[in-house]
Structure 1
Amino acid sequence: MSDTEIPESDRLGDFPHPREAAALVGQEAAERALFEAFMSGRMHHAWLLTGPKGIGKATLAYRMARFALHYGTAEAARAAGARDLNISPDEGVFHQVAAGSHPNLLTVRRPWDDKTKKLKTVIPVDEVRRIGHFFGLTATERGAWRVVIIDSADEMNANSANALLKALEEPPPNGLFLVLSHQPGQLLPTIRSRCRTLRMTPLAEGDIVSMMEPAERQAEARAKEAKRKFAMTPAAERQPIAQLAEGSAGRALSIAAGGGLGLYKELAGLLAGLPRLDIAAVHAFADKAGRKGADDAYETMIELLTHWLQRLVRTGAGLHPGPDIVAGEGAAMARLAAGGSLDRWVEVWEKINQSTARGEALNTDRKLVILNVFSMLEAAASERAGA
C-alpha cells in the first residue's frame, strides 16, 4: 500500500484484499451451502457468516457476491454449467468487485477519519444508513441483485446495530445481506434471528501450511507479490506458524509477514521465567515490539500473548494445549496453571485485552503498555507461587 492510499479496515497489511481473491481454501461445506441455496431459487435475503477471524468469511462473501451479480438467476447459472461459486478473474464482474467499483455491491466497514488520520474504532450509524440509499437506487439491470457486505458486524455500535436491524426487517426484492461476525453471541438477538447463520470452521493445519509453499503452486496470479512474501517463509517455520494460527489463514499471514514466530519465541522465553522476569530482556523486547512504526509487530505480539494465555488456561483445565512451539513451554504453562483456580489467569487475560485497547484509544506509548502487561503477568504468577 502506498503512502497516499487510505487504509482499509478489512485489509491485512500488504496482502490482497478478500475481494481480490479468486480462490477460497478449506471452506467447501460453507460454499456449498450458499451455492445450493442460490440454485434452489429460494435464496435467503440475509446470511450471518460466523467463525474466528481470518478463516475466509470475507473471501466467501465476495465469492457469493460475484456469483449473484454475474448470473442473476439460478437458471442462468445452471445454463452456464456452474458447479460452485467460482467466477473467472477474466470476467468483468470480477474486475469491478476487485476494484470496489461495482454499482450493485456495497461494503459497510469502519471508515477512515480524516481528522484523526486513523480508522474509526467502530462502524458509525451513518455508514449503515447508506444501505437505505443504496437500495433506493435503481439497479443497473432489471431484476439484478444488490448485495451488502457488513465487515464486520462486531464493530457496530448500538445505533448502527439498530440501523442494520431496520434494514434487515425491510429487505427489498433481490437484496442480499452478507453479515460477517467473529463473535455472533454479542450481536442483537433480533439481528441473528433475521439472518440464516452459516458457521464456518477453522482451517486444517495442512491447508495453512500449503499456503506457505512456493508461489508457483498457487493459482492466484493477481496475488503473486503478496504470496511471494508469504512463500519466502522457511520450510522449517511453516508448521509452527500453522500451529500458532489455530485454523486462521489471516493470522498465519500476519505471523509470517511480521516476523511473528521470532517474536513468539522471545515472548515464550520470557514467560517461561515467571514469576521471575529478566527485566533487561523485557525492556529490550518492549523496545522492539513497541517501537514507533512497528504496528504489525505490536499487534502480532499482543495476539500471540493472548494465544499463550489461552493455552495456559486450557492446560490448567486439563485440555491439551497443543504441541510445544518453543521447547519447554508446555511444562512452564503446567507449572503456572497448577495449584489453584484459573480465574486469576482469566482475569489477567481480560485485563490485558482492556489495557491494550485503552492504550490504543489514548495513544499511550506502546512500550509502557507492554511493560504494564508484563507487570500484570508477574503479579499474577507471584500470587500463585505464594499461595
Structure 2
Amino acid sequence: MKRVLLIVGGGIAAYKALDVVRLLRAEGVSVRPVMTRNAKEFITPLSLEALAGERVHDVLFEPTQESEIGHIRLARDTDLVLVCPASANLIARMAHGLADDLATTLLLATTAPIMLAPAMNVRMWEHPATQANMAMLRDRGVNVIGPDEGSMACGEVGMGRLSSPEVICRSAMATLSRHDTLKGRRIMVTAGPTREPLDPVRFLSNHSSGKQGYAIAEALSARGAEVVLVSGPVSLPLPAGVTRVLVETAEQMLHACEAQLPVDAGVFTAAVSDWRAKALSGQKIKKNGAPPSLELAENPDILAQISRHAQRPSLVVGFAAETETVLEHATAKRLRKGCDWLVANDVSKNVFGADNNAVTLITAQGTEEWPLMRKNAVADRLADRVAQFFTLS
C-alpha cells in the first residue's frame, strides 16, 4: 500500500484537504495526517482523523514517541509528502529551512518526494518574496500543483486558488506510480572520476564529484529499478537500495561494467580519465631539477565499447563534459561513441562539485535544453525519460 504524509497548512482552503484525503483513500492509499497550529483554526483534527483513519500528528516532541525519534520515523516512513494547502508562510519557512514545528521539521527530514499545493491571496502569491521562495523550492526538485485562477474567499479574483482535490489526487497518484515505472529493470550507472597512478603517491584525475551520477542512481532506484553503481573514488554516501562497485582506474571501471552485463540500460556519467601512464613507477618520482618526462597511453573508451558490446543494453546514455562549442562537440560525440542519448553540459561554468546543473539532452530525434536546476531534479527528469523509453519500446 502506498503511503502519503499529508501536511495541512493554515488557510481557508484547508477544508479541501478533507476531500483530498477521501479521494486518496478511495485509491487505496494510506494517509497519515499532520496539522500546523494555524490549520486547526479552519478544520478540526477530529474531522481529518475520521476521514484518514489515522491519528493526527501536530506536536514535534511527544514523550510517548520520542524514544523512537517519532518525527524522524514519520518523515521517512512514507512514499510522498503532500502539503495541502501550502500557505505563503509555510512556503517561506520551508524555502529557508526553518524547523520550528512538526510540519517544517518533517519537510527537512524527509527523503521522500515533496508535493506542494499552494493556496493564498492573489497579492501574496504574486509578491516577489513568494515567487523567489517558490523558485528555490522548484530548483530543489519539489513538485508544485497550481495554484489556479479564480475567485477567492477574500472577494478578490486572480491566481492563488487551491487546485481542485481531484487534480491534486491525480498528481499525487502520478508521483506515487513513479516508484514502479522501472520495476523489473536492471540499470548500470557509472559515476565519479577515475584515478590513473603515476607512482605510489601521485595520479592523473579530474574534478568530478560524482554528485550527478549518484543522484541518477538514486532516482532510478526510487522508480523500482535494480541499480548497480560503478563508482570511482568519491566522498558520497551510497544511495538507498543501490548496489555499488568501487573502482579506481579506467581499466577497472571497464572490467566492472562488462561484469555487470547484461543490463537493460546503462547511464555513463563517470568522468573517465582519457590517459594513463604508459609505465608506472614503482617508487615515488623524485625532483631532480628538471620535471620528469611522462609517456602516456590512451585509456579504454568505456562508453564506445559498451555501445558496441555483444551484450549492449537496450538504452545507452552517455555524458559529455565540454568547455566550448558544447552542442557541436556533444552531437559529434554521440555519433562517434554509438550511444542512444548523450547528456551534455558546460563544465567551464563551475559544474564540478556544485549542486546545480544545466544540461542538453541529445538524441537521434533532436536536442532538448534543460534549464539550470538542482542535480537531483536533473536526475528525476532523466529517470522519467528512461522509464518513458521502456514504456514506449
TM norm structure 1: 0.24
TM norm structure 2: 0.24
Name whichever structure is richer in strand by fraction: 2
Larger Rg: 2
Q: Which has the higher contact order (CA 8 A, sep 6+)?
A: 1
